[in-house]
Amino acid sequence: KGGLLCDLTPLCVNQSRVCDGHADCPTLVGYQLFKAKDESGCDDCENHWTYMNETIEYILEMDPLQDPDFKYFHYKCSSGECASSLDNCDGGADCGNYEDEQDCGEFL
């Protein structure tokens, strides 16, 4: 009661920990990255971007096959959603209006 149910597990996060800049909901399953539900939709993009920076560092540290020249960036969509380079061309409408899926070319 008074918490947020995570998407990937039955974990319930206390409301005081929602939008605090620290992801409490699981986000990494294998190599598939999901937005942390407890840090998504917050008014302040800074929390989301801080979390995503930490996630990128973790992925690069754990996977020696990742491109060390990977350029991570973040931005605010015209819809007001927070997005990052990981959201671009991933097949999901992270901006809500598919602007993050424009000019992607064809997927093989």
CB within 8 Å of 26: residues ≥ 6 apart: 6, 8, 9, 11, 34
* pLDDT tops 60 at residue 107: no
CB within 8 Å of 68: residues ≥ 6 apart: 60
* pLDDT tops 70 at residue 58: yes
Residue 108 Cα distances to 39, 73, 104, 105, angstroms: 32, 25, 12, 10
For residues 51-72, average pLDDT:
72
Q: Distance between CA 103 and CA 96 in Å, rounded?
A: 16
Q: What is this structure's pTM? A: 0.52
What pLDDT does 108 receive?
Answer: 46
Cα within 13 Å of Cα(23), Cβ side: 22
Of 10-19, 33-42, 56-65, where does the model show the most confidence? Answer: 10-19
